[in-house]
Amino acid sequence: MLKKEIVKLKSTKDDKFRQELLTNDVNILNEITSTNLFKSLDNNGNGNILKKDIITALESRGILINDPRISDVVNKLKKFKDTEEISSTQFHSIIIKNITLVEKALKGDLIIPDFESFSQKVNIIFDEVKSNNDGQVADYIPQLARVSPENYAISICTIDGQQFHLGDYETPYSVQSTCKPISYALALEEFGEKKVHNHIGREPSGRGFNELTLNKDGLPHNPMINAGAIMSCSLIRPDLNISDRFDYVLSKWKQLSGNKNPGFNNSIYLSEKQTADRNFALGYFMKENNAFPENTDMHEILDFYFQTCSIQIDCSSHSIVAGTLANAGICPITRERVFSPTTTKNCLSLMYSCGMYDFSGEFAFTVGLPAKSGVSGALVIVVPGVCGITIWSPNLDKFGNSVRAVKICDKLVEQFNFHNYDNLIPNIKKIDPRLQKNEDKLEGIMVANFAASQGDLNEIKSLNAKGINLNNADYDLRTPLHLAASEGHLHVIDYLILNNVDPNPKDRWGGTPLDDAKRHE
Ligand code: GLU
């Protein structure tokens, strides 16, 4: 049917007819897709499924029902009772408007295909770390001192918008220093790298985040410490008046978090302002060194900085902000571009080297991911090209980083190959959640069997070096030795035997490599 249509399409010159044929093709393809997806959900094969079958399938892949990208599916499903059977035709009309995402999710084509096992593993880590009550909440202002250290949440948002939340992920907190990368990115978007770095350095300071110090050029060391963040604020939309500048920043946070509504905590802002001697001192110090752009009203900018620290968000929305950074500046939920890829790259580079206060070097070494923490206990971690993670737990260590959040990061990179340089280690014993279930294992087996059948000894040696087990068998229980014997590749047989593979494995028909060799003599 489809083939006939394509032949017609190729032979016609009439544009309108062409368009009709094309639309027709898309419709046919969509129908085939939805029929196949339906079959995959029809557990009993009786031609009917329930509402919960669709929802559970999507949610297990990380596509949550509040995701605006499947709003049409969710609205249409509302018309069905829980026990009402849904036919293949009805399923088609339910998913048709969101078919691309539904197809990707159900076929396992999203960045973390087996999202369910990934989430389960994160859940275990989250529970393990929960009992750690070390550290203390920030107490330099009463509003932070009063926050319960029991609060604990983790949220993940992948670049494909798969989401996963645990704990108090809907409880709002002030972003504090996690606003610094965002303010820096906004300054970059406004003025570009050259101008911004005429006012801010990009080296770790090796000193405390609020230390009264500037670099040898009289500039703040980097945008991730207080002086640098104050400077970033001076570079955000200086053409606007201060109230509109704040609205602008808030609107960007809204875009970054997939149109969730970040708020503002006025009492935090007032407290910050009241206890800000050090930040005022930094402001004066930079003013004295002529570090600010021309016509900057330093007092106004300090105020603006306190306001950006007092933006309020919850962990679930904050993880979408992190997901946007992981996705090169495009919000995974709305697909809207918020930052350019270059801005995002620059921002992540400085988060990597300077994002964790005086622990930044150690964190880059052990965890190997760009991150930014804040004294409210929030930690934003970015796995570029994979996902954004936000953890919130208010007890801080002596560096000002959330104790539990750092612990979770350690455990995450222990299990998953997320460290920036993990890919350099062959045969690393870590999970790559980007792979389909068993994909890495199967790939090794297929490649080894193919190489053996071709007599490609070099490839067999490379696979051995990569740690692929040369005893592994395919679904017919055929091993590289079977294949090499069938094809009479003596050099491969020698190598395999010398490398201690089992000389007598049985395939699913009970045949050994020796049987193969005899048969093909
Ligand atoms: N508002 C805080 C300050 O400027 C930010 C602290 C932080 O999270 O590092 O002191």
Give residue-wise pLDDT tens across range 5-14. Answer: 556 656 666 7
Tokens 């948002």, residue located: 157
Give just the sign of the alpha carbon dihedral 290, 292, 294, 295: negative
Range name among 55-59, 65-69, 205-209, 355-359 with the lowest pLDDT average: 205-209
Task: Look at ligand 1, atom 4, and give the residue with the nearest C-alpha.
Answer: 226
Instruction: Judge whether residue 168 has pLDDT over 50.
Output: yes
Interacting residues of 306 by C-beta distance below 8 A, sequence separation 6+: 269, 272, 273, 276, 279
- Token reading at 375: 């004294």
Cα 69 to averaged position of ligand 1 atoms, centre (Å):
36
DSSP sequence for 156-201: EEETT--EEEEESTTS-EE-GGGHHHHHHHHHHHHHHHHHHTTT--
- Specify the pLDDT at position 419: 97
Instruction: Judge whether residue 464 has pLDDT over 80.
Output: no
Backbone angles phi, psi at 416, to 5 degrees: -110, 150
The H or E element that residue 392 is part of is strand 387-392
Looking at the CA of residue 279, tell me the nearest atom of ligand 1.
4
Task: Look at ligand 1, atom 3, and give the residue with the nearest C-alpha.
Answer: 226
Q: Determine the residue type at 471.
A: N
Q: List ligand 1's pocket residues with C-beta within 6 A.
A: 176-177, 209-210, 226, 272, 279, 309, 374-375
Give residue-wise pLDDT tens across range 395-448. Answer: 999 999 999 999 999 999 999 999 999 989 877 889 999 987 666 667 778 889
Instruction: Judge whether residue 508 has pLDDT over 70.
Output: yes
Task: Look at ligand 1, atom 9, and give the residue with the nearest C-alpha.
Answer: 177
Alpha-carbon distance of 129 to 106, in angstroms, equals 32
Looking at the CA of residue 272, tell me the nearest atom of ligand 1.
1
Instruction: Judge whether residue 247 has pLDDT over 80.
Output: yes
- Specify the pLDDT at position 7: 61
Q: What angle do CA 382, 157, 57 make, to 5 degrees?
A: 145
Cα 237 to averaged position of ligand 1 atoms, centre (Å):
22
Considering the entire predicted model, what is its pTM?
Answer: 0.85
Instruction: Judge whether residue 258 has pLDDT over 60.
Output: yes
Q: What is the mean predicted confidence (pLDDT) over 286-302? A: 97
Backbone angles phi, psi at 113, to 5 degrees: -60, -45
User: 170: closest CA among 304, 315, 60?
Assistant: 315
Question: By CB neighbour count within 10 A (0-12 exposed, 13-18 middle, 19+ buried), where does 98 fall?
Answer: buried
CB of 171 within 8 A of CB of 433?
A: no
Mutating to test ligand 1, I would choose from 147, 230, 272, 273 the residue with most ligand atoms within 8 A of its C-beta, which is: 272
Cα 270 to averaged position of ligand 1 atoms, centre (Å):
13
Cα 272 to averaged position of ligand 1 atoms, centre (Å):
8
112 secondary structure, DSSP code:
S
Q: What is the mean predicted confidence (pLDDT) over 221-249? A: 97
Cα 134 to averaged position of ligand 1 atoms, centre (Å):
21
Query: Where would I find the beta strands (DSSP E) of 196-282?
Result: 263-264
Mutating to test ligand 1, I would choose from 182, 205, 226 the residue with most ligand atoms within 8 A of its C-beta, which is: 226
DSSP sequence for 307-325: HHHTEEE-HHHHHHHHHHH
Looking at the CA of residue 226, tell me the nearest atom of ligand 1.
4
Looking at the CA of residue 176, tell me the nearest atom of ligand 1.
8
Tokens 């499903």, residue located: 77
- Max distance between CA atoms of the chain, in angstroms, equals 90
Mutating to test ligand 1, I would choose from 141, 144, 209 the residue with most ligand atoms within 8 A of its C-beta, which is: 209
Over the chain, what is the mean pLDDT? 93
Q: What is the mean predicted confidence (pLDDT) over 265-269? A: 98
Looking at the CA of residue 229, tell me the nearest atom of ligand 1.
4
Strand 378-383 versus strand 173-174 pairing type: unpaired
Above pLDDT 90, what percent of the chain? Answer: 81
Q: Three-state SS for 261?
A: coil
Range 402-406, long-range pairs (CB < 8 A, 24+ positions)? 402/135, 402/373, 402/377, 402/378, 403/132, 403/134, 403/135, 404/129, 404/130, 404/132, 404/152, 405/373, 405/377, 405/378, 405/379, 406/359, 406/363, 406/379
Tokens 């032979």, residue located: 11
Give residue-wise pLDDT tens across range 65-82. Answer: 999 999 999 999 999 999
| Percent of the chain that is helix, strand, coil (3-state, to 5) | 55, 10, 40
Task: Look at ligand 1, atom 7, and give the residue with the nearest C-alpha.
Answer: 177
The residues pairing with 261 across neighbouring beta strands, listed in sequence order, are none
Cα 482 to averaged position of ligand 1 atoms, centre (Å):
65
Instruction: Judge whether residue 233 has pLDDT over 80.
Output: yes
Q: Count the helices and strands in the chain (H runs, E runs).
A: 23, 8
Give residue-wise pLDDT tens across range 324-350. Answer: 999 999 999 999 999 999 999 999 999
Cα distances (angstroms) measured from residue 408 to each of 160, 389, 428:
23, 11, 20
CB of 467 within 8 A of CB of 499?
A: no
Cα 225 to averaged position of ligand 1 atoms, centre (Å):
9
pLDDT band at 1 (very low <50, low <70, confident <90, very high): very low
Looking at the CA of residue 178, tell me the nearest atom of ligand 1.
8
Backbone torsion region of residue 393, taken as left when φ is above 0, otherwise alpha when ψ lies between -120 and 50, otherwise beta: beta
Task: Look at ligand 1, atom 2, and give the residue with the nearest C-alpha.
Answer: 176
Instruction: Judge whether residue 249 has pLDDT over 80.
Output: yes
What b-and-e string marks burial along 430-466, b requiring 16 or more CB atoms within 10 Å of the CB?
Answer: ebebbbeeeeeeeebbebbbebbbebbbebbeebbee
Cα 319 to averaged position of ligand 1 atoms, centre (Å):
20
Cα 78 to averaged position of ligand 1 atoms, centre (Å):
45
Give residue-wise pLDDT tens across range 88-147. Answer: 999 999 999 999 999 999 988 999 999 999 999 999 999 999 999 999 999 999 999 999
Alpha-carbon distance of 478 to 120, in angstroms, equals 33
Question: By CB neighbour count within 10 A (0-12 exposed, 13-18 middle, 19+ buried), where does 298 fall?
Answer: middle
Give residue-wise pLDDT tens across range 171-184. Answer: 999 999 999 999 99
Range name among 247-256, 423-432, 456-465 with the lowest pLDDT average: 456-465
User: 199: closest CA among 286, 288, 303, 298?
Assistant: 286
Cα 306 to averaged position of ligand 1 atoms, centre (Å):
8
Instruction: Judge whether residue 496 has pLDDT over 60.
Output: yes
Task: For the chain, state the CA radius of gyration.
Answer: 28
Cα 177 to averaged position of ligand 1 atoms, centre (Å):
5
377 secondary structure, DSSP code:
S
Cα distances (angstroms) measured from residue 148 to each of 126, 151, 171:
18, 6, 11
Q: What is the mean predicted confidence (pLDDT) over 353-367? A: 96
